Structure 1
Amino acid sequence: MDARLPVFPLGTVLFPGLVLPLHIFEARYLELMQHLINLPDGTPREFGVVAIRSGGSAPVANGPEQERHPGQERPAGRPDPEPAGRQPDGAPVTLHEVGCTAELRQVTELPDGRLDVVTVGRRRFRIAEVDEESTPYLTAEVEWLPEPTGQEQLADLLAPRVLAVFRRYLTLVRDDRDEISEQLPDDPTVLSHLVAATAALTLTDRQRLLATPDTAGRLTAELRLLNREAALLRQVRAVPVSLTELAVPASPN
């Protein structure tokens, strides 16, 4: 079933189950947040987070984190969604086609009217059409991308391999092995999203993982990517950093 979502272009990729803090000060995004806050009780306060393909920066966040309490590339011949809006200076922005909804969980209003918000990634979608006229912020018609069935057995077989490689990868960038073990889930889908969000991958790599249709496909790709990154880390003798620092770095709004 299709739906219409407010769209928030960012210089990062959000995954289901990951926490995304945002600092909001641009007028159009303040209006978007107010729209969500004013929704009736029981209505999902969700907006679409979509990574910018080209056209400069937008309001951005700290990197996604795993929530503490307990997706395929564009089909050949299918056009990218256009237009994808403009920056305040009028520069056009092109968005990636697949994004993830962010559910508004916490809002802190600052004395000057800016907002600090905490959101959690929920469900993947594909943009069908972007509307940049109806509201000051972008909205889009989207189709939901549920997790396909049929590959669960393969995902169950791949998850322990990815978990082992990810642990080895983390030992190259962390010293605290106890903390590493505590943060790693066993569920194949949750693991696939955590690896995609916290490994030191490019935005392009992360976007491809988000667009991969199923868990088994993500885990297969992550085995290759983790081995690649581990090899690079061994070569450069990486300095230990925290898991949160491995995620996409913060950018200004």
Structure 2
Amino acid sequence: MQHTIPLFPLSQGLFPDGMLPLQIFEVRYLDLIKRCYQQQQAFGVAWIKQGSEVQVPGEIPSLHKIGCMAHIREFEQVQPTFFRVLCQGGLRFHLHDVQPGPYGVWQGSVTTIAQDPEVEVPTVLQAHADRLGKVIASAQQQGVAEKLPIFPPFHLDKCGWLANRYTRLSPSARS
């Protein structure tokens, strides 16, 4: 079933259970983020194909058709017009249509996509799970696990979780 959500277009993707730190300063997002935090509502993160994160008059951003719901885990109001938030990815969605909304916040007509099936990591990919596990263990031993861009729990035995972490950490996901 389609429903409408507020969109936050970004030049990077968000994946289920992924971490997304944001610095909010654009007027169009200050109200949205504060309201979402206070009402414990999610918003949609849509990966920009073409266009800018910062609003350009008359420009309609071209967005990828698959996005991810973002849930605010931490909220800090540094100044009245500057927030720091830490979001966690929820369910993916299929973006059908984009329309301008109140205060310049894009609205998307979306259909939620089911959660990734729980598939065990196959033997051929176990080395990747082990490698990420070593990075996590090393960070924990050094007392810097909170600096990892990964939320616990760490599902190193689940193929979808592992694929989402590697995809997010890859250089192409950040460009």
Which range, TM-score by smaller chain? 0.7 to 0.9
Q: CA deviation at 1:134?
A: 4.2
CA distance in 2, matches of 1:2, 1:96: 17
Q: CA deviation at 1:180?
A: 7.6
CA distance in 2, matches of 1:119, 1:167: 26
Tell me, yes or no, if the aligned pair for 2:27 and 2:81 is still in contact at 8 Å.
no
User: For the pair shown, which has the larger CA radius of gyration, 1 or 2?
Assistant: 1
Q: CA deviation at 1:26?
A: 0.4
Q: 1:117 aligns with which of 46, 65, 85?
A: 85
Matched, 1:94 2:53: no
Structure 2 regions of 5+ residues with no counterpart?
Answer: 142-153
Tell me, yes or no, if the aligned pair for 1:167 and 1:180 is still in contact at 8 Å.
no
- CA RMSD after TM alignment: 2.9
Alignment correspondent of 1:14: 14
Q: What is the CA deviation profile of residues 155-205 of structure 1, one whole-angstrom value per residue up to 9, with x for unaligned ones?
A: 43x53422314656x7xxx9x6952899671122221211211233x24xx
Alignment correspondent of 1:64: none
Greater fraction strand: 2
CA distance in 2, matches of 1:113, 1:133: 20
* TM-score with structure 1 setting the length: 0.56
Matched, 1:128 2:91: no
Distance change in 2, residues 1:22/1:181 (3 Å): closer
Alignment correspondent of 2:164: 193
> For 1:119-158, what aligned pairs fall within 5 Å after superposition?
119-147=87-115, 155-156=119-120, 158=121
Q: CA deviation at 1:38?
A: 4.2
Identity %: 27
Tell me, yes or no, if the aligned pair for 1:159 and 1:191 is still in contact at 8 Å.
no
CA distance in 1, matches of 2:18, 2:82: 23
> For 1:1-253, what aligned pairs fall within 5 Å after superposition?
1-39=1-39, 44-55=40-51, 57-58=52-53, 87-147=55-115, 155-156=119-120, 158-165=121-128, 167=130, 178-179=137-138, 185-200=156-171, 202-203=172-173, 248=174
